[in-house]
Amino acid sequence: MKVVIAGAGSVGSFIAEDLTLAGHDVLVVEQDPAVVEKRSKLIGCRWVVADACEFASLEAARLDEADVVVAATGDDEDNLVVSLLAKQEFMVPRVIARVNHPKNHWMFTKLWGVDVAVSTPHLLSSLVEEAVSVGSLVRLLQFESSGVRLVEVTLAEDSPALGRSISEMNIPRGASIVAVIRDSTIVVPRGDTVLSLSDEVIALVTSEVEDDLRSRLVSAKK
């Protein structure tokens, strides 16, 4: 997989190193020569000194050949510009953008070319909510371009799903149970998988059927 990362700060560098070690073809675009000189000695991916907000720089980096672009700079405005150029000018299939300031999260949508917006404060709050919200549906992540959400429910004693197999639940179109975590073990869900108390059910769901899925997993009293 060809990945282009804009920004070689701590976040961009970590992603570059992780993906490089995983065997992916990674190119980092960073405008500070000193940063490139330092980081390139530690991370064995491709590097280019350039401004990722400039069309010519991205064109020279052959962004049109990228499978994924990660806008990981420390500036939200820059990340939005990179995302928009990547999607509209270079037709990159998947654009992931870092949100530095939570108040700007609302702008990171498909209108700006963003497929997935990653906001650390929002992720942390979701994880806190997930940890304390047994019997409630918690949104973990949203894919902006499609409106699909990754949600989690820890089944409580009054869940209508207890003792029922997934096939019996008539999961609505637009929703899919992708994993069940049981006693710290990941269970790959099948039609005959029977749900039990305290199971953590992970699902992908569209906004249109989220309430329908919630009604099948969470008591109406919630």
Q: Give the residue range(s) of CATH 3.40.50.720 domains in the chain.
A: 2-118
Q: Can you name the CATH fold of 2-118?
A: Rossmann fold (3.40.50)
SS (H, E, C) the chain: CEEEEECCCHHHHHHHHHHHHCCCEEEEEECCHHHHHHHHCCCCCEEEECCCCCHHHHHHCCHHHCCEEEECCCCHHHHHHHHHHHHHHCCCCEEEEEECCHHHHHHCCHHHCCCEEEEHHHHHHHHHHHHHCCCCEEEEEEECCCCEEEEEEECCCCCCCCCCEHHHHCCCCCEEEEEEEECCEEECCCCCCECCCCCEEEEEEEHHHHHHHHHHHCCCCC
Task: Using the predicted structure, report yes or no on whether residue 210 has a pLDDT greater than 50.
Answer: yes
Question: What pLDDT was estimated at residue 220?
Answer: 76
In the chain, % of residues over pLDDT 70: 91
Please determine, looking at this structure, whether the domain spanning 133-217 carries the CATH number 3.40.50.1110: no
Q: What is the pTM of this model?
A: 0.62
Question: What pLDDT was estimated at residue 132?
Answer: 46
Q: Give the residue range(s) of CATH 3.30.70.1450 domains in the chain.
A: 133-217
